[in-house]
Amino acid sequence: MTADDLRFLMVHDNDGFNRWEAGQTYALRVMDDLLDAQESGADTSPPAVFLDSYGTLLEQAFAPETDKALLARMLSLPDVSVIGQQRRTVDPTAIHRVREQIKTAITAQSRDLIARVYQENRTNGPFGVDPDSMARRALQNVALEYLDDPALAKAHYDQANNMTDRIAALGILGDIPDSDEGQSLRDDAFGDFYRRFKAYPLVIDKWFARQAMAVRPDTVQDVRRLKDHPDFIMTNPNRVRSLFAAFAMNNPVCFHAPGGSGYDFLTEAIVALNTINPQIAARLLTPFKEWRRYTPDRQEKMKTCLERIRDLPDLSPDVFEIVEKSLNA
């Protein structure tokens, strides 16, 4: 199917799934082309017709007949892991760079439309769980992500009367680096969230996870700090997943950061959990399983981590099985 066909389907098809699938396929194709261009040193500007297609989708947000839940999904770009699945050799850093470039270009071309989508879908009244309210929240939070404005995200957090909006705001604020002027906004929001919900363990799991999923240069240092937090309990499976699994499985950019600090952090966690909870330890090996698909430098570092785990004197059968299969794959 040509790019023109995909563009037409994503904008005009009467079937919602067909529209979404066409849009995702089109976005993945454009990203794949830009990644190839990046590797060869060619121009990596997103095609104008691609940006126009997203502008058309944004305009549809104001039509009464629009399915806002579907539109929110269509406006969400494929994530780094999904994009990586179609690459012969995976470089999460390069993929993230291209994805952010596309997102920035969409916002630059359609900022006024995005801001209007955000404002017109604000849910300022009582919290509702009806389909329309849920769809409006989804659409406003996608618009908030595109706008990527720390001050707006902090205001969004402060005005939120539901968990969906709070978590959406934290997702944007969490990406602010320590050296950025927005750091105080980030710290204020995460501090408030912890104080507000510290009596609710499942909600605090979200607090740990959202920080572990932050994409910024110091994320590995931050998750190491969180491992020493008084509320982090290594014997609590949910808490372990909220930090280690959220980082290694849901934050490919920082987990696969050049230098291997993310690999070292996960390896240390698996070594510690090997005797505490071998089933969880084995599950945490998942990001290492496809080590051969990554760039040579990453392959070497992941293989070294797997060999370190394999050589543990008290290696559990659960962990041994996954390590051996991964090394021999």
Partners of 294 in beta bridges: 90
Cβ-proximal residues to 59 (8 Å cutoff; 6+ apart), any chain: 113
pLDDT tens digits for 84-125?
A: 999 999 999 999 999 999 999 999 999 999 999 999 999 777
* Six-digit token string for 50: 């691609």
Residue in the structure block whose two tokens are 């996870």:
209
Amino acid 243: pLDDT: 98
Closest CA to 106 of 29, 174, 27, 167: 27
Amino acid 204: pLDDT: 98
Could you give the C-alpha distances from 25 to 47, 76, 132, 243, 249, in angstroms and in order? 15, 12, 27, 32, 23
Domains and CATH numbers, the chain: 1-148 (1.25.50.10), 198-329 (1.25.50.10)
Nearest 5°: the CA angle 144, 145, 151 is 60
User: pLDDT at residue 180 above 80?
Assistant: no
Amino acid 1: pLDDT: 87
User: pLDDT at residue 139 above 80?
Assistant: yes
- The full DSSP string for 98-137 is HHHHHHHHHHHHHHHHHHHHHHHT---SS---SHHHHHHH
Percent of the chain's residues with pLDDT above 70 = 100
Query: What is the rounded average pLDDT of the residues 158-162?
Result: 95
